[in-house]
Chain A
Amino acid sequence: MPDKKKIADLHFMNARCQLIDLAAFFDRMDRHGGPDDYRDLALRAAVPILLEKRPDRAKAVLDLLSDDSTELLDSAPFQGAFGAPLPQQGGAR
């Protein structure tokens, strides 16, 4: 298995790029008008997970961005998905 330096050599620049892109996304959302967006709020709620000392941060972020309800729907309200639970599914408000 490669050591930390090798993994950083391979992936640091990409991770740096993605982190700055996320920061810029938050700046962009803050600069623009309109009501809060549940997807933006969901991402901000996930950020503290990144600094937790745990081996499964990716899973924890995915769990946070998941619909936690347990009931079957009577019919499909639409066909797609948006990446974060809708407020009525318990998502961020």
Chain B
Amino acid sequence: MKYIEPHAHMVSRTTDDYLKLALAGCEILCEPAFWAGFDRSSAQGFFDYFRQLTDYEPKRAERFGIKHYCWLCINPKEADDPVFAREVMSLIPEFLEKKSVLGIGEIGLNKNTRNERIIFEEHVQIALEHDLPILIHTPHLEDKKKGTRMILDALANFSRLNREKVIIDHVEEHTAALVLDQGYWAGMTLYPESKCTPNRAIDMLETLGTERLWLNSACDWGVSDPMAVPKCALEMKRREHSAEFIEKVIYHNPAKFLAQAKNFQL
């Protein structure tokens, strides 16, 4: 079984995890820029992080036959200070020249503040100026529904935006239809506790269909599982879904969305 892991934070994971991913059939892995678990004290910290994402991680993944791509931004958790956020964002154009950069992400909202929204909109503008796809993080737990609605409202103001080039991630049962109904892609994140379990994600695939949906582990420094996607594929098989159904969800769907990025190659 081959699959694409479209959202994983490998800077937080061990090399052993790359081995496990490769053994499970992962051929391509995409890493959005995110919050490292602590606030960085300077834009230079992000410069080094962007170097890690664009230079070091592709080499580490390549040792296991996995193609590594990344997305760049300042994540919403560190975007509540617009002066600092803009300093980091000024670094992005230089890194867009790198051959493994897919687009802008994971941008979005965290606590649904005015400044988070301003910086989110400025990131969208960068993506439009460079004709890049966008990967959007939606807030956690009780903040998710409100944040998802606010993100959709903000995106609606960009008349030039091609909604098929935008994926809104971490959807759950109360936000998935909101996203899909407006023509965007939706990502379901498989977490042990705080997002979707594999069976809930499969329930959504059964009720919403498989168009414009992908699965990811979003594995990072927290309680998360880099094997979540292949485990969900196994659960789909136990629930009598066909090999074609499973391959569409874990390979062809992410490939279709990611193919809109100029640098992406299967």
- List A residues at the B interface (Cβ < 8 Å): 1-2, 6-7, 10-11, 55-56, 58-59, 62-63, 65-70, 72-86, 89, 91
Contacts and interface: CB of A to CB of B under 8 A. Distances in A.
8 contacts: A68-B146, A72-B150, A73-B112, A75-B80, A78-B111, A79-B111, A81-B139, A81-B142
Q: Which of B149, B206, B240 is most buried by chain A, counting CB atoms within 10 A of its CB?
A: B240
Interface residues of B, number: 32
Nearest to B235: A10
Question: How would you classify the secondary structure of chain B's contact residues: helix, strand, loop or mixed?
Answer: helix
Chain A to chain B: the 3 pairs with minimum beta-carbon distance, closest first = A76-B111, A81-B141, A62-B174
Contacts of A77: 111
Contacts of B252: none
A72 B114 contact: yes
A66 B172 CA distance: 12
Given A67-B142, A86-B142, 16 more contacts: A56-B173, A62-B174, A63-B174, A65-B141, A66-B174, A67-B145, A72-B113, A73-B114, A74-B113, A74-B114, A76-B110, A76-B116, A78-B111, A79-B110, A79-B111, A81-B139
A55 B114 CA distance: 36
B160 interface: no
Contacts of B149: 70
